Amino acid sequence: MSTRALFTFQDPDGSEYHVYKHYNGYPLGAINAIEAALKLKKVWDLPRYEADEFAAGFIAANKTGPGALRLTVGKNWEQAISSDCEYHYTVSLKSGKLHVVADAVECWDFPYKSTRLKSGTLSAVSKWAIRENAAA
């Protein structure tokens, strides 16, 4: 499935690192990709979290070939996102747990439109994504 998404990995100081994912960017695919970085031990064990390191581990765990994932540049998600993305995810650490914000985005016209779908711990967003996938 070619559902494109932008993942923003955010440090507590506000630094952001962006990764474009060319396919499987729908919520359950996104959660699976984040969890893969943890399960495959491509990132530090939580609660240690560094956004740049997590972004690199996310790519290492999920890159399947040319164009599948790539770094993208921008001071914020609106500058980093591609016009064909349908979702934007922000990953950060809050109270020692991975926190995920899932937004649906429309990037055809500026200013971009963003609709909050779910926000919470990785576990909570994962449960929501599984329910959403089952309902689809």
Greatest Cα-to-Cα distance within the chain, rounded to the nearest angstrom: 39
Q: Where are the beta strands (DSSP E) in 22-122?
A: 69-72, 87-94, 97-106, 113-121
* Tens-place pLDDT, residues 39-66: 999 999 999 999 999 999 999 999 999 9
The pTM of this model reads: 0.95
Tens-place pLDDT, residues 14-42: 999 999 999 999 999 999 999 999 999 99
15 Cβ neighbours under 8 A, 6+ residues apart: 51, 52
pLDDT tens digits, one per residue of 64-106: 999 999 999 999 999 999 889 999 999 999 999 999 999 999 9
Domain ranges of the chain: 5-135
Handedness of CA 45, 121, 25, 6 (dihedral sign): negative
